[in-house]
Amino acid sequence: MAELHDLTALEQGELLHRCEVSPGELAEHYLDRIARLDDVGAFVTVAEERISTCARELVVKPVGASPLWGVPTAIKDLNLTRGLRTTFGSAAFADFVPDISDNVTLSIEAAGMISLGKTNTPEFGSPCYTEPDVAPPAVTPWDRTRIAGGSSGGAAAAVAAGLVPVAQGSDGGGSIRIPASCCGLVGLKPTRGRISPSPMYGDAAGLATAGPIARSVRDAAAFLDVLAGRRTGDPFWAPEEPLPFLDACERPPGRLRIARFIEPLIAPTSVDPECVAAWENASSLLESLGHEIIDIPRPLPVEAVAVFETVWAVGTAMAVVNLAPDQRSQIRPLTRWLTERGEAYSGPEFGLAIAELRRYAAVALEALAPYDAVLTPTLATPPPLVGAIRDDADPAADFQAQKEFTPWTSAWNVTGMPAISLPLHWTPDGLPVGVMLAARPAEEPLLLSLAAQIEAAAPWADRLPPGW
């Protein structure tokens, strides 16, 4: 007989709706699993007192509430949670407790979901691996010697290990889709402005957004419904959708024109044969579903990479600019190296880089406009061993290795397009390999419709990692 954690988040929500289980009982089920099974570096902080208080307050499901009302989740340790330790993955903030919550936390609470705590992230969410000083490395449950990816590595490890049914991540250069691929999950980066970054607005370039990590496309869509929405003062916003994103999963996408390319964008690198096979097999699957597949040249030029790196380095420097000297001495070598790069640019140089990046984005959007979706691999290799990318002695080599591991993901942060990684392939030794689809800005409904069609044609729900 299926246990609670075997069910999808939506199925658990239905049990709660029928009063066959209470929010408190469901939360306790997952707390027990976290206590026994979090050998994957998923959680930095477990919020037991907050959980019990929240569960007591969820007595009767309100009319019109989210189908995820009462369902447990987790919040990434980059997001402010009032009264709960938030480290930003850094020893410099090891004991920081914010006095406000951000929009992501408030949206989750307003939907009646119960956050079990804060998930592991690398320092300030910068690297594509999750190996911080404040917690053990986040690893994929498919092979605990290999990385869960980053920067939402703890969130993905938690979902993949069955410690929560869905989790929130954030993505400024691939940080939802990278761990989704490493952990065999669905990871959705929404359109720029789909989810409010209130009240911090710390990303001047508009690269980053929150988004869902889940085991199924429908769970991801339902969680996007929880997170989506604008707040007064937002610098970017996507048009509001008249229907829930979950409804899009029930609509056939029709026959689509799907562009594809495999040339790495941000670093010249070889692509692992398993990742090529995943991409080719996904192309064949899409053709079998009636879609037209068109090979296209890379939509962003090589020159865009240096501009993106300027913006990324300044963004890292902004994260540490107000640190006291004793805090600054605690930041990691990679953060220090990126900060020094960022601080070397003047204000006008940064402004020019943002403008240039937006011009590159406009050219890419125009080139991709004739297509309903774009297909690439998610990553250039299956998940590497813990420590294989990180190089404290040579941060420049570390950064280069990150680019070679993730040569496609950041393109859709530059353009602001929604993008989703789907777990469509496993290597012969059982490692997950994702493929990535992107759509035009604000076309999450079409992207989710297509992803749901793919999931129905090539389901992955029966694939469970060791220790499940």
| 3-state per-residue secondary structure call for the chain | CCCHHHCCHHHHHHHHHCCCCCHHHHHHHHHHHHHHHCCCCCEEEECHHHHHHHHHHCCCCCCCCCCCCCCEEEEECCCCCCCCCCCCCCHHHCCCCCCCCCHHHHHHHHCCCEEEEEECCCHHHCCCCCCCCCCCCCECCCCCCEECCCCCHHHHHHHHCCCCCEEEEEECCCCCHHHHHHHCCEEEECCCCCECCCCCCCCCCCCCEEEEEECCHHHHHHHHHHHCECCCCCCCCCCCCCCCHHHHCCCCCCCCEEEECCCCCCCCCCCCHHHHHHHHHHHHHHHHCCCEEEECCCCCCCHHHHHHHHHHHHHHHHHHCCCCHHHHCCCCHHHHHHHHHHHCCCHHHHHHHHHHHHHHHHHHHHHHCCCCEEEEECCCCCCCECCCCCCCCCHHHHHHHHHHHCCCCCHHHHHCCCEEEEEEEECCCCCEEEEEEEECCCCHHHHHHHHHHHHHHCCCCCCCCCCC
244 in Cβ contact with 227 (< 8 Å): no
Catalytic residues, by residue number, are: 76, 151, 175
Q: Which pairing describes strands 373-377 and 257-260: parallel, antiparallel, or unpaired?
A: parallel
